[in-house]
Amino acid sequence: MEYKRSSELFVEANKVIPGGVNSPVRAFKAVGGTPLFIKEAKEAYLYDEDGNKYIDYINSWGPMILGHAYEPVVNAVIERAKKGTSFGTPTELETKIAALAISMVPNIDKIRFVSSGTEACMSAIRLARGFTRREKIIKFSGCYHGHSDSFLIAAGSGASTFGVPNSPGVTEGTAKDTLLANYNDIDNVKQLFESNKNEIAALIIEPVAGNMGCIPPKKGFLEQLREVCSENGALLVFDEVMTGFRLAKGGAQELYGVDADIVCFGKVIGGGLPVGAFAAREEIMNYLSPLGPVYQAGTLSGNPLAMAAGYEMLKVLNEDNAIFQRLEEKTAYLEKGINEVLSENKMDFTINRIGSMISVHFDSSPVFDFETAKNGDNETFKKFFHGLLQKGVYIAPSAYETWFITDALTYEDLNYTIKAIKDVAVEL
Ligand code: PMP
Regarding whether 359 and 265 lie in a shared domain, the answer is: no
| H-helix segments, 24-179 | 71-81, 92-104, 117-132, 172-175
What's the distance, CA 161 to chain centroid?
26
Residue 159 predicted with pLDDT over 50: no
Higher-confidence residue of 112 and 152: namely 112
pLDDT over 70 percentage in the chain: 97
Q: Which of 22, 60, 240, 242 to mutate to test the pocket of ligand 1 (most atoms within 8 A of CB)?
A: 242
**Res. 162 pLDDT band, cuts 50 70 90:** low
- Cα–Cα distances (Å) from 92 to 3, 226, 302, in that order, read 46, 35, 10
Residue 22 predicted with pLDDT over 80: yes
Partnered with residue 42 across adjacent β-strands are 45
Our answer to whether residue 333 is catalytic in this structure is no
Distance in Å, CA 281 to ligand 1 centroid: 22
CA distance 428 to 422: 10
pLDDT in tens, 36-71: 999 999 999 999 999 999 999 999 999 999 999 999
What's the whole-number mean pLDDT along residues 82-100? 98
Residue 333 phi, psi dihedral angles, 5° rounding:
-60, -45
Distance in Å, CA 113 to ligand 1 centroid: 15
Distance in Å, CA 343 to ligand 1 centroid: 33
CA distance 180 to 155: 7
User: What value of ipTM does the predicted structure carry?
Assistant: 0.99
Number of domains in the chain: 2
Final residue in a domain of this structure, among 259, 288, 319: 319
Distance in Å, CA 171 to ligand 1 centroid: 21
- Exactly one of 144, 183, 256, 287 is catalytic; name it: 144
| DSSP assignments along 370-418, one per residue | HHHHTTS-HHHHHHHHHHHHHTTEE--SSTT--EE--TT--HHHHHHHH
Average pLDDT over the chain, rounded to an integer = 95
Omega of the bond leading into 216 within 30 degrees of 0 (cis): no
Our answer to whether residue 239 is catalytic in this structure is yes
Final residue in a domain of this structure, among 319, 350, 375: 319
CATH number at residue 53: 3.90.1150.10
Regarding whether 255 and 375 lie in a shared domain, the answer is: no
What's the whole-number mean pLDDT along residues 345-363? 97
Instruction: Give pLDDT, residue 304.
Output: 98
What's the whole-number mean pLDDT along residues 403-425? 98
Q: Is the CB of 211 under 6 A from ligand 1?
A: yes
**Res. 195 pLDDT band, cuts 50 70 90:** very high
Regarding whether 412 and 313 lie in a shared domain, the answer is: no
Which one, of 334, 389, 340, lies nearest residue 359 by Cα?
334
Q: Is the CB of 241 under 6 A from ligand 1?
A: yes
pTM of the model: 0.97
**Res. 154 pLDDT band, cuts 50 70 90:** low
Residue 168 predicted with pLDDT over 70: yes
pLDDT in tens, 210-239: 999 999 999 999 999 999 999 999 999 999
Q: Is the CB of 116 under 6 A from ligand 1?
A: yes
Q: Is the CB of 61 under 6 A from ligand 1?
A: yes
Instruction: Give pLDDT, residue 172.
Output: 86
Regarding whether 342 and 304 lie in a shared domain, the answer is: no
What's the distance, CA 387 to chain centroid?
25
pLDDT in tens, 264-316: 999 999 999 999 999 999 999 999 999 999 999 999 999 999 999 999 999 99
Regarding whether 242 and 176 lie in a shared domain, the answer is: yes
Partnered with residue 237 across adjacent β-strands are 204, 262
Structural domain of 24: 4-69+321-427
Regarding whether 180 and 120 lie in a shared domain, the answer is: yes
SS3 call for 427:
helix
Residue 157 predicted with pLDDT over 60: no
**Res. 163 pLDDT band, cuts 50 70 90:** low
Instruction: Give pLDDT, residue 422.
Output: 98
Q: How many CB atoms within 10 Å of residue 355?
A: 21
Regarding whether 269 and 204 lie in a shared domain, the answer is: yes
Residue 193 predicted with pLDDT over 90: yes
Instruction: Give pLDDT, residue 189.
Output: 98
Buried b (16+ CB within 10 A) or exposed e, 135-150: ebbbbbbbbbbbbbbb
Q: What is the DSSP letter of 292?
A: S
| Residue 339, CA atoms < 13 Å, CB-side half-sphere | 11
Which one, of 420, 335, 398, 339, lies nearest residue 58 by Cα?
398
Final residue in a domain of this structure, among 298, 319, 340: 319
- The closest residue, in CA terms, to atom 13 on ligand 1 is 117
Regarding whether 331 and 209 lie in a shared domain, the answer is: no
For 169, left (φ over 0), alpha (ψ -120 to 50), or beta?
left
Distance in Å, CA 118 to ligand 1 centroid: 6
Q: Is the CB of 146 under 6 A from ligand 1?
A: yes
* All residues at 6 or more sequence positions from 403 whose CB lies less than 8 Å from its CB, including other chains: 57, 58, 214, 357, 358, 359, 395, 396
Distance in Å, CA 98 to ligand 1 centroid: 20
Which one, of 75, 92, 51, 124, lies nearest residue 313 by Cα?
75
pLDDT in tens, 391-404: 999 999 998 899 99
Regarding whether 311 and 221 lie in a shared domain, the answer is: yes
CATH number at residue 251: 3.40.640.10
CA distance 66 to 68: 7
What's the whole-number mean pLDDT along residues 112-141? 97
The minimum-distance atom of ligand 1 relative to the CA of 146 is: 11
Our answer to whether residue 311 is catalytic in this structure is no
Regarding whether 404 and 256 lie in a shared domain, the answer is: no
CA distance 367 to 352: 8
Instruction: Give pLDDT, residue 167.
Output: 81
| DSSP assignments along 25-49, one per residue | GGG-TTT-SPPPPEEEEEBTEEEET
Residue 115 predicted with pLDDT over 50: yes
Regarding whether 313 and 330 lie in a shared domain, the answer is: no
Q: Is the CB of 118 under 6 A from ligand 1?
A: yes
165, 153 contact by CB (below 8 A): yes
Instruction: Give pLDDT, residue 158.
Output: 32
CA distance 385 to 395: 7
What's the whole-number mean pLDDT along residues 351-358? 98
Regarding whether 253 and 163 lie in a shared domain, the answer is: yes
- Exactly one of 239, 261, 407, 413 is catalytic; name it: 239
The minimum-distance atom of ligand 1 relative to the CA of 119 is: 16
